[in-house]
Amino acid sequence: MKDTPTYRIMGIDPGTNYMGYGVLEVEGRALRSVVLGDIDLHTMSDPYRKLRYIFDRVSKLVDDYAPREVALESPFFGANVQSMLKLGRAQGVAIAAALNRDREVFEYAPSRIKQAITGSGSASKEQVAAIVKSMLKIDYMPRRLDATDGMAVALCHYFTARTPIDTAMGSSRVKGLGGGKKAAKGSSSWEAFIKQNPEREIK
């Protein structure tokens, strides 16, 4: 009997004050939260020191938890151009850290992540956190919801890509703002997951 392959996905919710992250372990259809947390940046006034800190911390997280793939929330377009530029830099440095460790990187739009987790692209952070906690049987609340947002990105990538084995079998990936990978017929998102795992549905 062959062993069930186990692998990890790191999800990152980029931010300039707090950068949330979560590492999801996948073994067959079983999902487990390995770590939830956030990178605290709010006391750093020097923007370049902040970027260096993001690079170092993301690099260490990849080294410590050995994810096979890293998924990030893509920047959203807002009215404040300066805030968008700062967020884009923070995300870019996190991407560079993952690439520097030879990890594949994927991006997902915020609405796509919320849709994959809750079924609604306009869900609140609290709604996302509640479903992430229930789905992974997390019995504590992280210090900040940035952490559950990071795990939500990892789950979104799992629902969309299913497993890295799909890639070896020829599934095509679309990297960029749209999100990760073309979903195979009947494979992606919350609805398919619930059909395959009815015990996880929240009544």
* C-alpha closest to that of 9 among 114, 103, 141: 103
73 is catalytic: yes
pLDDT in tens, 130-167: 999 999 999 988 999 999 999 999 999 999 987 444 44
Q: What's this model's pTM, rounded to 2 decimal places? A: 0.79
107 is catalytic: no
Residue among 25, 38, 107, 146 flagged as catalytic: 146
Angle at 58 between CA 70 and CA 61, to 5 degrees: 85
pLDDT in tens, 50-68: 999 999 999 999 999 999 9
Residue among 25, 38, 69, 73 flagged as catalytic: 73
What's the rounded Cα separation, in Å, for the pair 4 and 29?
10
pLDDT at position 168 over 60: no
Give the residue extent of every domain in the chain: 6-200
Residue among 13, 38, 107, 149 flagged as catalytic: 13
* Mean model confidence pLDDT for the chain: 83
pLDDT value of residue 79: 61
Adjacent-strand bridge partners of 181: 173
pLDDT at position 111 over 80: yes
**If pLDDT is split at 50, 70 and 90, which confidence band does 181 have?**
very low
146 is catalytic: yes
**If pLDDT is split at 50, 70 and 90, which confidence band does 175 have?**
very low
* C-alpha closest to that of 38 among 137, 132, 108, 143: 143
Pick the CATH number of 6-200 from 3.30.457.10, 3.30.420.10, 3.90.550.10, 2.40.160.50: 3.30.420.10
